[in-house]
Amino acid sequence: MKKKLVYLIPLLLIGLLTSSCVQTDQNKPVELSQNDVNEKDILELEYKDFGNDPFVFNIEDYTKQNDTYRTTLWTGEYMQLTVMSILPGEDIGLEVHLDHDQFIRVEEGEGIVQMGDAEDDLSFEKKIEDDFAIMIPAGKWHNVINDSDKPLKLYSIYAPREHEFDTVHKTREESMADEHDH
């Protein structure tokens, strides 16, 4: 009986010790409250044209944190990415791109997109908001208008590129005055 007890006690102790260990589910994401994240922990994003080099990044963060009217983030040989912050009451300006298509995604805010076959015939009009995508075919006149009371945050992909490498327009007025644009 003593022999059995000698073997049984260590097994019971091992069982007790291992059952008291708490393991977390490694596949379950950890949720943090705002109090758990310090401002110093938030990454400071670098806004520049990362050129024709490979570039992997969180586009939502870059778009939502952008405070300029337009900044090119990546200009390649055949494509370009810009982020924009359109202030309340502003627009991108009525324009047409004869030689390329354009993709716009709204990350934050609300507005209106207009398109048509002629400058004075914008027969297509839709409300846009967070997570909407806008496909603009080459040759279509178009405008995006912020009709809300907060900035409209979006990014745009041109193929081929539209703006000069490393373009930064802090304001809409600066963009309109740039001889390379509009």
pLDDT at 177: 83
More confident of the two residues 120 and 42: 120
pLDDT at 66 over 70: yes
Mean pLDDT of 149-154: 98
pLDDT at 13: 44
More confident of the two residues 81 and 167: 81
Which of the four pLDDT bands, split at 50, 70 and 90, describes residue 178? confident
Map out the domains of the chain as residue ranges: 34-177
Residue 69 CA neighbour count, 13 Å, CB half: 23
% of the chain exceeding 90 in pLDDT: 55
Beta strands in the chain (DSSP E): 70-75, 80-86, 101-108, 111-116, 124-128, 133-136, 141-145, 152-159, 168-169
pLDDT at 121 over 60: yes
Which of the four pLDDT bands, split at 50, 70 and 90, describes residue 3? low
Give, in words, the CATH class of 34-177.
mainly beta
Instruction: Express each pLDDT in 129-145 by its tens digit.
Output: 999 999 999 999 999 99
How much is the pTM? Answer: 0.72
What residues are paired with 159 via a beta bridge? 101
